[in-house]
Amino acid sequence: MQNVIFLHGGVGGHTDYSEKVRGYAMNSMTIDPLDSVIHAVMQLEDDPDFNAGTGSYPRVDGSIQMDAAVMTEQGFGSVVGIENVRNPVLVARDVMEKSPHVMMSGDGALSFARKMGHGFYDASTERTMEKHRKIMEKILNGKEELLPREKFIAELIKNNESTGDTVGAIARIDGKFAVAVSTGGAVPMLRGRVGDTPIIGCGFYCGPKGGIVTTGIGEEITKRLLCYNIYLKIGSDSLQNILDEAVKDFGNIHVGIIAVTKDETASSANGNMSTGMHIF
Ligand code: GLY
């Protein structure tokens, strides 16, 4: 069985970053699937072109809250709404390996991260702050037609472009699987909103049959328990058909999925999704 590292850089963006995503996949070759997916996602988090780690989009109040998760066949760890750390995926790994918990959120996750040695880091960039200003202007000035998500925010704060460039990685090394995911969320969103990325079975799943990670509008992915439901279907049809069917169910709501099983790899998305695979 060949070893595989499969990455995506999120669905819904306008630029195709597949070439550099392929490079990140190649750089992530190790002898351990968890080390490989962590290394892959760290590179994507550190690249400001992706909505994870550096380059995460702000919430409507301007704060940056990030979600990340890791999973092996043995267990998982995730962080929800963590702020001011450089690599949320590393904190998720610490939750899995160094704590008795599986999920940590908000201030508690941050204080755990500091104890584990993750220092202060400002994940904002000029590009994301500019995008935030533009979205808020659109929501507040009421001149353009608003998407339902934007209308909700507009009504709440009284007075598209939707983005879901979550990043994700799956590795199959010596027949063992691991997955990792990280995101700044899906704009526009309130402070405290939680998407699919840190929730087991929604934005990620991994077991002896394979690994699956998703990108797109987290609320819709979560409602469908998307990754776990795909996991249950492995073997019932070709992996490509299973993923295509799942994407069809979203209509025009952005979603992207990548999956690796013992003998197949597949990806499916209803928008532009940069992917990269390395086989060794
Ligand atoms: N898929 C990322 C999110 O909705 O938060």
Instruction: Confirm or reject: Cβ of 217 under 6 Å from ligand 1.
Output: yes
Would you say the CB of residue 185 lies under 6 angstroms from ligand 1? Answer: yes
Regarding the domain delimited by 4-123+161-279, which CATH topology (the fold level of the hierarchy) does it fall under?
Answer: Glutamine Phosphoribosylpyrophosphate, subunit 1, domain 1 (3.60.20)
In the chain, CATH 3.60.20.30 covers 4-123+161-279
> Is the CB–ligand 1 distance for residue 256 below 6 Å?
no
Contact between 223 and 255 under an 8 Å Cβ cutoff? The reply is no
Supply the pTM of this predicted model. 0.92
Place of tokens 């919430």: 59
Strand order in the sheet with 66-72: 103-105, 76-82, 66-72, 176-183, 167-173, 4-11, 273-279
218 lines ligand 1 (CB under 6 A): yes
Contact 77, 51 (CB under 8 A): no
55 Cβ closer than 6 Å to some ligand 1 atom: no
Beta bridge partners of 67: 183
Number of neighbouring beta carbons within 10 Å of residue 232: 15
Helices (H) and strands (E) in the chain, counts: 9, 11
Q: Output the six-digit token pair for 188.
A: 């526009």
User: Which of 10-24, 41-55, 226-240, 244-258 is predicted with the least confidence, judged by mean pLDDT?
Assistant: 10-24
Q: How far apart, in whole angstroms, are the C-alpha atoms of residue 60 and residue 188?
A: 6
Residue 166 appears among annotated catalytic residues: yes
φ/ψ bin of 185: left (φ > 0), alpha (ψ from -120 to 50), beta (otherwise): left
pLDDT cut 70: percent of the chain above it:
97
SS3 state at 130: helix
H-helix or E-strand containing 277? strand 273-279
Residue 256 CA, ligand 1 centroid: distance in Å: 11
Quick count: other Cβ atoms within 10 Å of Cβ 124?
A: 18
Distance from Cα 213 to the centre of ligand 1, integer Å: 11
Q: Tell which atom from ligand 1 comes closest to the C-alpha of 217.
A: 4
Q: Taking every pair of C-alpha atoms in the chain, what is the biggest distance, in angstroms?
A: 58
> Which among 66, 196, 220 is the best mutation to test ligand 1's pocket, defined by most ligand atoms within 8 Å of the CB?
196
- 67 alpha carbon to ligand 1 midpoint, in Å? 9
Q: What is the pLDDT of residue 159?
A: 47
Question: How do residues 227-249 score in pLDDT, each as one tens digit?
Answer: 999 999 999 999 999 999 999 99
238: tokens are 């070709």
Contact 156, 190 (CB under 8 A): yes
Q: For ligand 1, is residue 215 a contact (CB within 6 Å)?
A: yes
Pairing of strands 76-82, 103-105: parallel
pLDDT tens digit sequence for 97-147: 999 999 999 999 999 999 999 999 999 999 999 988 888 888 877 777 888
Using the atom order of ligand 1, give the atom closest to the CA of residue 194.
5
User: Predicted confidence band at 161 (pLDDT cuts at 50, 70, 90)?
Assistant: very low
